[in-house]
Amino acid sequence: MNSAIRSDLNVIKELLQKEELVKEFLSLKSQIDSSKEIRNIRNKMKFYKKCNMSEDEKEEYYKAKKLLDNNPLLLNFEETKKEIDHFKREIKEILKI
């Protein structure tokens, strides 16, 4: 790829990063990645999945899953991700050659 195209793409990337939707998505992703609570619940679920779960462990697994399924941060992220996916499809369509 020539340097002019690469330069133009970097400008486009900077413009995209200024879009409110993109900023919201990146902020939510960062919050999720740094959430000890979410990380602990996910690790707990991974542990239980690897085990031959007893009934009590299955109950704990589903409690943890419910916590994740109803976590406002994760719910907001999933909705924002859908919007980002749509945004990306629009960009792809514009760039279609």
pLDDT band (50, 70, 90) for residue 97: confident
Q: What share of the chain is helix, strand, coil (3-state, %, to 5)?
A: 85, 0, 15
Residue 52's pLDDT is what? 86
The 10 Å Cβ neighbour count of residue 23 is 12
Residue 96's pLDDT is what? 86
Q: Is 68 within 8 Å of 42 (Cβ atoms)? A: yes
Residue 77's pLDDT is what? 98
Q: Mind listing the pLDDT tens digit for each residue in 24-65?
A: 999 999 999 999 999 999 999 998 888 888 888 889 999 999
Q: Mind listing the pLDDT tens digit for each residue in 8-22?
A: 899 999 999 999 999
- Owner of token pair 């542990």: 47
CA 26 and chain centroid, separation: 8
Taken as a whole, the chain contains a residue count of 97
The residue extents of the domains of the chain are 3-95
Residue 19's pLDDT is what? 96
CA dihedral for 11, 14, 16, 19, sign (positive or negative): negative
